[in-house]
């Protein structure tokens, strides 16, 4: 079962192509993570899946229909997106923010309903921001703020949630906190999650399916345990490294080679590799 | 800040009474002493006396025009600040007033136009052109619309239109007097015909502005988020731009370019009712009307028997506030 698929998708700004003729399938009910270097087009691809960017060529298909031909509010009832580092207007409260998630269900005639209220309360409970509901979004810490934004996405009540680097600017504790929350949403509520992550080790821990993007197309995709190799990291990130099993999760872990200070340990590691 | 909706409705009711009070004040206060009885008499049995003529031909038009123009400029500013998420946005800073003025002065000097209807259309045309140019320049480049690019584009376009207006006036000195007082911004010396000509458009602008508050709330979170929530952002932006053109262009056609109301009032409105544009827009309209009425009444008393152009009065009130906003920084 696929949640989203693309047909010969070509993306770009102006003359320059960023993604060329890509056929991609996002599996339903799984966590898919896009990885790739800076400027590889992973965020561009994610944005196009959420119809924030019009394809130059090709199409994005959601539930069997081209999203370019589907009413945008209908899409918003099936798929939500959290853009990278969103900024709330100064003075907006958490409750007001989360309520905006119900926008796709409202119209000029159809105003706030019982169902909307329930969805908002539930979204705040699940994300643990209920106690913060009257606080201003701009007064929250980075981690709390990101939870509030995710609550808005949840209020939208969609099967598919896309997130563009949801852990950027968060300290490690809060990165784990946000990813655990997303992992719970996937497992307990069977939501399809697609996100862009910078940290390959965290990507390996949380992803069911990794899509590695390089050279305007997919370099490789699949289960992190099988596809994440030193060769992949070298080709996608241009980084030499060693891949070990993460002692905590057993998933692949990338140990980059560098000219750091502790050369002795690095040579030791290389020996172990051999 | 008023937190509860009930309080906001009460505020709106009280505010409307304040507007009516100053509209009344605008009719009876000034160099010529007028009292309530005279106003009533001028309607019931007009006797052609000096006072009655002043009431009917000067004071009442002036009062209505000040209220309509003040509300229009303030709402245009509120919408601009909302959709661009830029606290410095306003019809005067972004060149909308300057664009409308240039086209009107062009009509007067180059084509000898004198009819009110032609002024109106020229003002709409100039305002629309300014909106289109500033928006296009502000969104140029890969990173899209940013507050700083938009403010720079607006300032440049405002300066361009103003200097072209001055150029037109130097080339054609006969029209100088006619155009100059109008350019300083004034609600005085305009008869009701011009308001009547423009009012239908202003009314459309006002009605649309009251309907799009909720949409602006969504768009204010950023274009990507609004699109993600299923908003047709282009449609909202076109509607908003049209409203800005009708309100700011209409206001300029009637009263000339009056600055600072469009930038100051939306901030005061947000300070009173928070950031929900369903409230910010009506409060801006109410406060804008009050500010321009007070400025116009004040303008009669400062150098009596002469009058200060009301555009100068609003600038006196607006400049300190503008500096305060600028010091808090763009997009803080």
Domains of chain B, residue spans: 61-328
Among A46, A47, A83, A138, most B C-beta atoms within 10 A, so best to mutate, is A83
Mutate to test the interface with B, among A90, A108, A123, A134 (most CBs of B within 10 A): A90
Separation between Cα atoms, residue B18 and residue B159, nearest integer Å? 36
Q: Which of A80, A90, A103 sits opposite B218 (nearest CB)?
A: A103
Unique residue bearing structure tokens 């190799």: A229
- Output the average pLDDT for chain B: 86
Tell me the pTM: 0.85
Contact B229 A47 (CB under 8 A): no
pLDDT digits (tens, 9 = 90+) for A105-145: 988 777 788 899 999 999 999 899 999 999 999 899 888 99
- The answer, for B225 touching chain A at a CB cutoff of 8 Å, is yes
- Phi, psi dihedrals of residue A85, rounded to the nearest 5°: 35, 65
Fold of A2-78+158-227: Rossmann fold (3.40.50)
Per-residue confidence band for B178, with pLDDT thresholds at 50, 70 and 90:
low
Question: pLDDT at position A272, please?
Answer: 52
Nearest-CB residue to A76 (from B221, B222, B230): B230
Q: CB distance A86–B274 less than 8 Å?
A: no
**What pLDDT is stored for residue B331 in this prediction?**
45
Mean pLDDT computed over B137-155:
80
| Cα radius of gyration rounded to whole Å, chain B | 20
Tell me whether residues A100 and B142 touch, CB distance under 8 A. no
Phi and psi torsions of A25, nearest 5°:
-125, 125
- Residue A209: closest CA among A25, A32, A12, A24: A32
Q: Which pLDDT band holds residue A265 (cuts at 50, 70, 90)?
A: low
The HSE-up count of residue A122 (CA atoms within 13 Å, CB side) is: 15
Q: How confident is the model at residue A82 (pLDDT cuts 50, 70, 90)?
A: very high
* Region B61-328: CATH code: 1.10.3470.10
pLDDT tens figures, A172-200? 998 999 999 999 999 999 999 999 999 99
How far does B139 lie from chain A, in Å, by closest CA? 14
Mutate to test the interface with A, among B217, B220, B221, B226 (most CBs of A within 10 A): B221
Q: Indicate the domain borders of chain A.
A: 2-78+158-227, 89-156
Distance CA A56, CA A21 (A): 10
Of B311, B250, B259, B258, the C-alpha closest to B122 is: B250
Q: How many residues does chain B have?
A: 332
Tell me which H or E stretch contains A25. strand A16-27
Query: Minimal CA–CA distance to B290: which of B17, B19, B5, B15?
Result: B19
**How far is the first Cα of chain B from the last one, in angstroms, to the nearest whole number?**
19
Q: How far is A187 from chain B (nearest CA, A)?
A: 24
At A221 the three-state DSSP class reads strand
pLDDT of B153 higher than 80: yes
Statement: residue B313 has pLDDT above 70:
yes
pLDDT of residue A55: 92
Shortest Cα distance, chain B CAs vs residue A86, angstroms: 8
């Amino acid at each position: 079962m696929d949640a989203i698929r693309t047909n010969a998708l070509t993306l770009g700004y102006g003359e320059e192509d960023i993604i060329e003729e890509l056929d991609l399938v996002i599996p339903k009910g799984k966590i898919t993570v896009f990885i790739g270097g800076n400027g590889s087009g992973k965020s561009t691809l994610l944005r196009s899946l959420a119809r924030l960017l019009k394809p130059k060529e090709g199409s994005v298909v959601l539930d069997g229909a081209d999203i370019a031909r589907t009413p945008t509010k209908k899409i918003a009832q099936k798929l939500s997106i959290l853009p990278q580092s969103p900024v709330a207007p100064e003075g907006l409260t958490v409750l007001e923010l989360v309520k905006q998630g119900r926008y796709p269900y409202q119209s000029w005639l159809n105003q706030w309903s019982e169902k909307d209220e329930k969805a908002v309360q539930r979204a705040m409970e699940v994300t643990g921001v209920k106690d913060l509901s009257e606080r201003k979004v701009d007064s929250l810490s980075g981690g709390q703020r990101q939870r509030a934004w995710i609550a808005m996405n949840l209020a939208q009540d969609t099967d598919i949630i896309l997130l563009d680097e949801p852990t950027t600017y968060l300290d490690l504790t809060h990165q784990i906190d946000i990813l655990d929350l997303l992992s719970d949403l996937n497992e307990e509520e069977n939501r399809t999650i697609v996100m862009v992550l910078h940290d390959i080790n965290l990507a390996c821990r949380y992803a069911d399916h990794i899509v590695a993007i390089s050279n305007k197309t997919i370099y490789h995709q699949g289960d992190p345990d099988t596809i994440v190799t030193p060769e992949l990291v070298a080709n996608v990130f241009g980084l030499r490294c060693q891949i070990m099993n993460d002692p905590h999760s057993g998933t692949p872990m990338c140990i980059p080679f560098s000219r750091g200070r502790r050369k002795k340990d690095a040579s030791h590691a290389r020996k172990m590799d051999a | 800040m008023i937190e509860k909706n009930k309080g906001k409705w009460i505020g709106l009711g009280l505010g409307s009474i304040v507007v009516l009070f100053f509209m009344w004040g605008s009719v009876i206060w000034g160099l010529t002493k007028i009292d309530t009885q005279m106003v009533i008499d001028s309607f019931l049995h007009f006797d052609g006396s000096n006072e009655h003529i002043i009431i009917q031909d000067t004071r009442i038009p002036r009062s209505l025009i000040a209220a309509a123009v003040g509300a229009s400029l303030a709402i245009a500013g509120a919408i601009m600040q909302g959709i661009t998420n830029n606290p410095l946005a306003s019809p005067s800073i972004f060149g909308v007033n300057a664009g409308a003025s240039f086209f009107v002065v062009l009509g007067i000097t180059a084509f000898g136009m004198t009819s009110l209807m032609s002024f109106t259309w020229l003002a709409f045309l100039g305002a629309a052109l300014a909106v289109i140019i500033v928006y296009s320049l502000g969104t140029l480049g890969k990173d899209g619309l940013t507050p700083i690019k938009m403010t720079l584009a607006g300032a440049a376009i405002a300066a361009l239109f103003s200097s072209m207006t001055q150029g037109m006036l130097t080339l054609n000195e006969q029209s100088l007097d006619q155009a100059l007082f109008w350019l300083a911004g004034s609600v005085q010396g305009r008869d009701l015909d011009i308001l009547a000509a423009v009012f239908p458009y202003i009314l459309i602008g006002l009605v649309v502005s009251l309907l799009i508050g909720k949409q602006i709330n969504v768009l204010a979170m950023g274009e990507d988020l609004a699109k993600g929530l299923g908003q047709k952002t282009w449609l909202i932006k076109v509607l908003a731009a049209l409203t800005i053109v009708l309100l700011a262009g209409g206001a300029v056609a009637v009263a000339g370019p009056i600055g600072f109301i469009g930038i100051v009032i939306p901030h005061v409105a947000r300070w009173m009712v928070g950031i929900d544009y369903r409230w910010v827009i009506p409060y801006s309209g109410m406060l804008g009307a009050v500010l321009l009425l007070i400025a116009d009444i004040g303008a009669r008393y400062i150098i009596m028997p002469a009058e200060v152009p009301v555009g100068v009065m609003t600038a006196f009130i607006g400049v300190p506030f503008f500096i305060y906003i600028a010091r808090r920084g763009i997009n803080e």
